[in-house]
Amino acid sequence: MKQLRPAVLAGIFVVAGVLSWAGARLWNAYGTLPGVPLAAPIVLGVIAAVLLATALSLRARLKAQRERRPGAKGVEPLMAARAVVFGQASALVAALVAGAYGGVGVFLVTESLDVPARQDQAWYAGASVLAGAAVVAAALFLEHVLKLPEDDDESPEAPAPA
């Protein structure tokens, strides 16, 4: 599996933010802009906590296995692969969601902050962006914990012709 690149996640965040900002402007011009749900930052925060707990647990298990402690539980390769896939998928979705809420938040702050209900929506959008960043950080940490060491042996498979 390839490692996630922070530049790709930042690109997803920016593109989603710009499209969301433009969509919010258009939607507001033709009707009522839907609100940012209070559950958005809560759900993203729970996902970040699960990712962080998984990373810390696996890191402790790998350390115990490396130190050959008696009774240490190893990490099954399939479980590690599933954890990495969960982390990568969560980071990609969190970058997209954080960008979308970021774009709506920028629209709310710049266009209609005089309405008290919109102020609350702007706070929820900002909290969603922060929670999305926490998911991305936890996913990158999980990926770092489960990264295999590089193979230092760079010998060619076939001998060089003489």
Mean pLDDT (whole number) for 28-42: 87
Residue 160's pLDDT is what?
A: 53
Residue whose pair of structure tokens reads 């920028």 in the numeric block? 106
* 114 or 64, higher pLDDT: 64
**DSSP characters for 137-153?**
HHHHHHHHHTPPPP---
Its pTM stands at 0.84
Q: What is the pLDDT of residues 74-108, one digit of tens each?
A: 778 898 889 999 999 999 999 999 999 999 999 99
State how far the Cα of 74 lies from the Cα of 38, in Å rounded to an integer: 39
Work out the pLDDT band at 148, boundaries 50, 70, 90.
confident
Distances (CA, A) of 108 to 6, 13, 103: 27, 18, 9
Judged against a pLDDT cut of 50, whether residue 151 lies above it is answered with no
Segment 49-65 mean pLDDT: 91
Task: Give CA angle at 134 (4, 9), nearest 5°.
Answer: 30
Q: Is the pLDDT of residue 113 over 50?
A: yes
* pLDDT at position 132: 96
> What is the per-residue pLDDT across 125-142, written as a single tens digit (0 to 9) for each?
999 999 999 999 999 999
Residue 159 has pLDDT above 60, yes or no: no
CA distances from 159 to 19, 84, 155, 156 (A): 54, 36, 9, 7
